[in-house]
Each structure stands twice: as structure tokens, then as C-alpha cells.
Amino acid sequence: MDQPEGTRASSQSLPPSTHHQLNMYALAAGTAGVAALALAPPAEAKVVYTPAKVPILISSGLYNLDLNNDGVTDFKITNTRNHNTDQSFFNLFAQGVNANGVAGTFVYGLAPGNAHVFSQGQQIGAGQVFFHGYNKMASFYIGGGGYSAHGNWVNVTNRYLGLRFEVGGQIHYGWARFNVQVLGHPVRIKALLTGYAYETDAGKAIAAGDTGDADAQVTPNDFNRPVEAPVMLGLLAMGTPGLTMWRREE
């Protein structure tokens, strides 16, 4: 329906100065939109990485690994020592909680599986066999028959444990990076957890050592950026009227 004559706004009736301010405001709005996009938090990374520096020693004995940091333990790393009359056993184990599993190889009978050692870049996914329960990383025996060290993780640096765990009934893959030493005088096993990560896409393999796109990960500093910057750009583009408006807001 046509508006009654005299009520329609006509661009011809606006003063040239107002035209100029409107044009500058439109330009400022476009600039602010671009700036807002630049300051928006990045998209969620597909690989979520958590740096760590956690010693797992015989004195502490147990570390509960929460791979996706949701407050629920997904894996247990245990460092134990057992003695009897004339022999001692030292063991470093990785254990999946509930249906979660550790990539490894079968040994025999009821013996724990051997946890596999992954090098950086190797794929962890459906192509591996994952074992529930205890998986041996490293062990040391000393007794009447002498002494010996066993396991894939004896004296390794920056190697990766392959992990499969469930989130909401869906399978996800991840890794945990360790340094492991088997030492004598006194005999002991030292393990250092130096980081862990998982793939957020269910069923998708992850490369050992993949920490995701560092530029796409949100850090606390992203939330401390000056969110008023787009508004300031718009006001500055308006010239003197915009600066007047800014001063009134102070």
C-alpha cells in the first residue's frame, strides 16, 4: 500500500551533510563487520591437544588419564613394584577403563598384552588391535635367575601410546606421549607423560604426535581481545560525529 503523501521519506529531502554521514556510516558498518569476523574465535579444532609434564613414579604408582578432559578417567597408567622372598618385579602398565583400549600385541593366555610403541606420524585407528585391561609398557625382573628388562617401552623418548576410547557411545582415537627409563642402582622404572591428544571426529584415525592446527585452537588470550575494536573502527570512519558519540559514551 502506498504511504499517504507527505509521510514517505525522500532521499532528495535530506541535506548533503546527512547524506555524507550515512554513506560513511555504511562504510564503517562494512569495516566493522570484517573486523568482527577477524576477531571471532576460531573454529573448534578437530584434534584437541593437552600439553603435560607429569612424572609417574613408583612412589605415586598411579595416574588417571582423562583424554578429553571431561572429568572422567579414560585410562590408568600404573607404575608398581612387588617383592617376595628372593625376587622383585617392576611393571609399568597402561589400562583402558571400561570399554577403552590400548593398541598392542597379544602375548599368551592371561598375560597382559604388550603396549605398542608409535613413532611420530604413524596412524592410530581401526587398523590396530586394542586390548582392554592391563597392557605392559615396560617391566624389570631381578631375582635368583639374574635380572632382565622386557617390553616395547624400555628406555624410549618421545614415543606414543595408541588409545581408543568411547565418548557418548562413539569410538574416538588418541595418543599419549611418554619418556620411559628403566634404571639400576636402585632398580626402578621412571615414566614421564609429556602430552596427549584425541580426534574429535568419531571413528577417524589420528597421527601420533598430531597436535592439531595451533592457529585454530582457542586459548585464554582469545577471550581477552578488545571486543570494542569493531565499534571504534565504525565511529572513527564516521569522522567528527562519530567521535562525538564515542565521547558521550565515556
Higher pLDDT, 17 or 239: 17
pLDDT one-digit tens code per residue, 165-179: 999 999 999 999 999
> Among 49, 76, 90, which Cα is nearest to 208's?
49
Higher pLDDT, 27 or 84: 84
Q: Decide: helix, strand or coil at residue 161.
A: strand
Cell of 3: 504511504
Say if 25 falls within a structural domain. Answer: no
Tally the domains of the chain: 1
Residue 20 pLDDT level (bands cut at 50, 70, 90):
low
Residue 112 per-residue DSSP state: P
Residue 23 pLDDT level (bands cut at 50, 70, 90):
low
Q: Is the pLDDT of residue 214 over 60?
A: no
Q: Is the pLDDT of residue 62 over 80?
A: yes
Say if 244 falls within a structural domain. Answer: no
Say if 136 falls within a structural domain. Answer: yes
Q: Is the pLDDT of residue 248 over 50?
A: no
- Is residue 114 within 8 A of residue 135, CB to CB? The reply is yes
> Among 90, 218, 207, which Cα is nearest to 154's?
90
- Which residues have CB under 8 Å from 16's CB, separation 6+? none
Sign of CA dihedral 174, 168, 102, 176: positive
Say if 26 falls within a structural domain. Answer: no
Residue 90 pLDDT level (bands cut at 50, 70, 90):
very high
The parent domain of residue 85 ranges over 47-215
Looking at residue 87, its pLDDT comes to 84
Say if 21 falls within a structural domain. Answer: no
What is each CA distance from 216 to 21, 106, 222, in whole angstroms?
A: 38, 39, 11
What is each CA distance from 155 to 138, 150, 159, 197, 200, in whole angstroms?
A: 9, 10, 10, 22, 31
Looking at residue 127, its pLDDT comes to 92
Least confident of 59-68, 132-141, 209-218: 209-218
Cell of 192: 614421564
> Among 181, 206, 200, which Cα is nearest to 191's?
181
- Which residues have CB under 8 Å from 63's CB, separation 6+? 54, 56, 76, 77, 78, 193
Say if 194 falls within a structural domain. Answer: yes
Higher pLDDT, 29 or 127: 127
Say if 166 falls within a structural domain. Answer: yes
Tell me what percent of the residues of the chain surpass a pLDDT of 70.
66
Least confident of 64-73, 92-101, 202-211, 223-232: 223-232
Least confident of 3-17, 107-121, 162-176: 3-17
Q: Is the pLDDT of residue 158 over 90?
A: yes
Say if 186 falls within a structural domain. Answer: yes
Higher pLDDT, 3 or 187: 187
